[in-house]
A and B are shown apart, each in its own frame.
Chain A
Amino acid sequence: MRRFILRRAILGVLVCMTVLVISFGLTRVAGDPALAVAGPQATAADVAAIRRAYGLDRPLPEQFFTWVGAVARGDLGRSYLFREPVANLIRARLPITLTLGLVGLGFALLIALPLGIVAALHEGTPTDRLVMLVALLGQAMPSFWLALLLIIGLGLRLQWLPISGIDDWTGYLLPGLVLAFSAIPALMRLTRSGMIDALGSDYIRTARAKGLSRASIVLKHAARNAAMPVVAIAAVQLGFMLGGSIVIESVFSLPGLGFLAWESISKNDFPVVQAVVLLLAVIYIALTLFADLLNAALDPRLRTG
C-alpha cells in the first residue's frame, strides 16, 4: 500500500511537471501579450517598456524557468489585467468554484445513485430502459442551453430561485443542478452495472438465504460493494466538473475560477490562465489520488491485503 501511494505520488509530480510545460507553452503559442496589455493606443515605446517590466523580452526558456521557480516558491505571478498577485485572485475565486463543484456532485449523486439502483433492480425491464434513457438524455444535454432554459423557466417565469450571482446559498442551487447533469450519466451507468454485478453474486444469495430484509440486501450488502468504483469515479467527475464549471459560471455570472479563467483568456492575461490550468490539474491529480485512498479504505481487501 505504501509503495502504491509512493508510485502514485511520483506519477502525480511528473504529470504536474508536464502540465507546467503545457500551460506555459499554451500561453506563448501566439500573440504578444505585451500588445494586449498595452492596449490599442500604446506607442512602441510603451510596449517595449511593458515587455521589459514583465520579463517578456527574455528568451522563452529563461521565462519558463523563472516562472517555474516562482511557482515552486508559491508565487504565481501578477495579473496584467487586475494588476494584482494571481494568488490573491485565485484565493478569492476558488471557494466559489469548489462550492459549486461540491453542490453539483451532491446533486449528481442524489440523482444518479437511486436511479442506478432502481435500474439494476429492474434489469432488462422497461423501467431499466427508461432510466437508461434518462442517462442518455443527460449525456446529450448541452449544459449551457439547459442553464438558459432553467433561467427562463424557473428563475424568471416562476421566480423560485436566483438566476445569477450568489447573494446567498440558493444562488448555488441552479448552477449546481446544471453542473450535475454532466456527471449523472457516468455515475448512473456505473452504479447500475456495479449493482447488477453485486446483486448476481453469491454473497447476495447468502444474504437472501439468511432471510434478511430486501432493504438490507439491496442497500447494505449489494450497494456497499457497488459503491467502491462509484466513489472513485465520483472523485474524478468532481475534477471534470471543476474544469467544466467555466461554462456554468459564465452563464450564471458566478465570479469563480472558471469565470476568472474565461475573462483572462479573452484578455490575454496569461499569468492567470497558466495558474488556473495548473491549479485545476493539481486538483484533479489530488482527487484521483484521494479516490484511490478512499477506495482502499472502503475495500477491506485493499486495506489489509
Chain B
Amino acid sequence: MLDVAGLRVSFGAIEAVHGVSLRVRHGETHCLVGESGCGKSVTALAIMGLLARGARRRAERIGFDGTDLLALSDRGMGRLRGSRIGMIFQEPMTSLNPAYTVSSQLTEVYRRHRGGTRAAATERAAALLGRVGISAPGLRLGQFPHQLSGGLRQRVMIAMALMCDPDLLIADEPTTALDVTVQAGILRLLAALQAEMGLALLLITHDLGVVARVAHQVSVMYAGEVVESAPVAALFARPTHPYTQGLLASVPVPGKLRRGQPLDPIPGSVPRIPPDFVGCGFRERCRFAMPACAVAVPLRERAPGHSYLCQLTP
C-alpha cells in the first residue's frame, strides 16, 4: 500500500530524517515508535508532502498503491490527500480552524473529493461523528472547535480523515496531547475503525503498550533512521538492535506492557546528526559500539519481515 525507501528530509544544515524506509501493507497497522525528536512527524509529513517551506525532501521511492508520489504534482497530491490518504495530527487543540463550524470543516473535504449536495455531505458527517463515538452529532455539527474538549476535537479530526473512506490513515501521536483517561478511548476507536474499514494504518506513537496491543508491524526509529522493523511478536520476542533492546528492557515487566509507559530508556539524548554523518547514529550511546560502527552500517535481515540496521549479528 505504502512503500517508502531512502527518505531524507533536511532543514537547512540539519538532516532530520536520513534514509527512512517503510512498508505498510493493505489492512495492516504499522506502528512507528521512537523517542521525541527522532523524526517521526517529519517522516509522516514528508510522505504527505506537507513539509514546511524550507524543508527539502529526497527519496529513492515513495509509492502509494502503485502511484509514485514523488512524481506527483502538488495538485495531483491534493487529489489523494483527504480522499485516499487521511491524516490525524498530534495537536487536536489547534488543528481545527477556529472560524468554522465542525459541520463546515467535515463537509468541505467530502464535497471537494466526492462532490454531491451539502445535505448528503452533512448526512455523512453526522453518521461518521456517531461512528467515532460522539453523542448528539447533530448538536456538535453546529458547534465551533473552541466549544469542544480536546478528546472531542480529536474524534472530529478522525471523522474528518475518514470522510472519504481512505485506504491509508496516518495518525501522528493522536493521543499525546490528551488526558490519560481519553487516550484509551481514542486508541480503541482507531483500532476498531482499522479492522472494520480494512484501513492501512500508520500509527506513530511513544507508547509501547499501544504497540503491543494494536500493531501488526513495528518500525523503531532512532535519530532520523529506522533501526529495526519487525512483526510485532518477533520484535517483542527477539529485539535485535541494541536500541530496541534498551527500549524494551526499560519496560518493567516484559510481555505485560502498561499503557502510558514513556519511552526514554537509555542514558543520553538523541544527537543532532549532521548531513555528512556516516556510520551508526546510536554508537555514542551503545554498549556494543565498535570501531566499525563509525564506518558503515549494514541492513541485516533476521527473518522475513524482520530487518535491522547494525554491525552485530544475532
State yes or no: do A and B come from one complex. Answer: yes
A interface list, Cβ under 8 A from B: 200-203, 205-213, 216, 221, 224-225, 298-301, 304-305
Whether the pair A225, B98 counts as a contact (CB closer than 8 A) is yes
Q: Which residues of A contact B77 (CB under 8 A)?
A: 211
- Option from B86, B146, B161 in Cβ contact (under 8 Å) with A300: B146
A-binding residues in B (CB < 8 A): 48, 50, 52, 77-83, 86-87, 89, 91, 94-100, 108-109, 112-113, 144, 146-147, 157, 160-161
Say which residue of B96, B113, B144, B146 sits within 8 Å of A206 (CB atoms): B96
B112 x A208 contact (CB < 8 A):
no
Instruction: Give the chain B neighbours of A206 by CB distance below 8 A.
Output: 89, 95-97, 157, 160
Bound-complex Cα distance A209 to B48 (A): 7
- With contacts A202-B94, A300-B146 known, is A210 near B112, CB below 8 A? yes
Q: Contact at B109–A202, with CB atoms within 8 Å?
A: no
Q: A225-B98, A300-B98 are in contact. Are A209 and B146 (CB under 8 A)?
A: no
Docked-complex contact A205 and B89, CB < 8 angstroms: yes
Closest to B80 in A: A211
Among candidates B50, B108, B113, B144, residue contacting A209 with C-beta atoms closer than 8 Å = B50
Cross-chain pair count, CB within 8 angstroms: 79
Q: Is the CB of A209 within 8 A of B147?
A: no
The 10 closest A-B pairs by CB, nearest first: A211-B82, A211-B81, A210-B82, A202-B94, A300-B144, A203-B97, A210-B109, A209-B87, A211-B78, A202-B95
Partner of B109, one of A211, A298, A299: A211
Q: B142 to nearest A CB, angstroms?
A: 11
Given A203-B96, A206-B97, check contact A211 B89 (CB 8 Å): no
Bound Cα distance from A300 to B108, whole angstroms:
19
Contacts of A224 in B (CB 8 A): 97, 99-100
Distance, CA A300 to CA B78, complexed state (A):
29
A207 vs chain B, min Cβ distance (A): 7
CB < 8 Å neighbour of A210 from B81, B98, B146, B147: B81
CB nearest to B78 among chain A residues: A211
A206 shortest CB reach to chain B, Å? 5
| Complex Cα gap A207–B108 (Å) | 10
